[in-house]
Amino acid sequence: MSRVGKYAVAVPKGVTVDIAGQRVKAKGKLGELSLVVDNDIEAKMDGGAVKFTPRVDTKRARTMWGTTRSLVNSMVKGVADGFTINLEINGVGYRAAVQGKVLQLTLGYSHEIKYPIPEGITMKCEKPTSIAITGADKQKVGQVAAEIRTMRPPEPYKGKGIKYDYEIIRRKEGKRK
């Protein structure tokens, strides 16, 4: 079983963490995030780090111990540096462009897809075939990237579609004569 919960979350310079009861708030240059800690877990500041301890010795408390530590670690990293996911678009005529608070996608359909950019998320299209999604909330950045990818997931024959930059598409052989 993992023992991730026993490691303290170091708070970097420029980030402040406030603990009030079961609520943990992290504030940094990229914004403010908060999390309500489970009742089985106790969070406290110890020097320049946040430590977590389970209040009871149950299986649920031990699982929430590591989960809570990971969530708070992601919050602290998010408000300090942020998270970025890069998407690549493959296909003839497929492209993306950011106009204001809307991402416009041309993906081979009869119409152009307009995706409203949520609060707390910024998008850049350095090239018409790449999208960089950035934000402080790791879960929100991943969710937005997954929603955009589902608009035209990559297909295995020609590799056309939207994929993560680290994703490898297993290609299939086409028809044989």
Per-residue pLDDT of the chain (177 residues; tens, 9 = 90+): 568 888 999 999 999 999 998 899 999 999 899 999 999 999 999 888 999 999 998 999 999 999 999 999 999 999 999 999 999 999 999 999 999 999 999 999 999 999 999 999 999 999 999 999 999 999 999 999 999 999 999 999 998 999 999 999 999 988 887
- What is the model's pLDDT at position 176? 84
CATH classification for the domain delimited by 4-80, as one of 3.40.50.2000, 3.40.47.10, 3.40.50.300, 3.90.930.12: 3.90.930.12
Residues with Cβ within 8 Å of 67's Cβ and at least 6 positions away in sequence, in order, are none
Q: What is the pLDDT of residue 88?
A: 95
Its CATH architecture, for the domain 83-164, is: Alpha-Beta Complex (3.90)
d(CA 28, CA 42): 23
- Ordered by start, the domain boundaries in the chain are 4-80, 83-164
Specify the pTM: 0.88
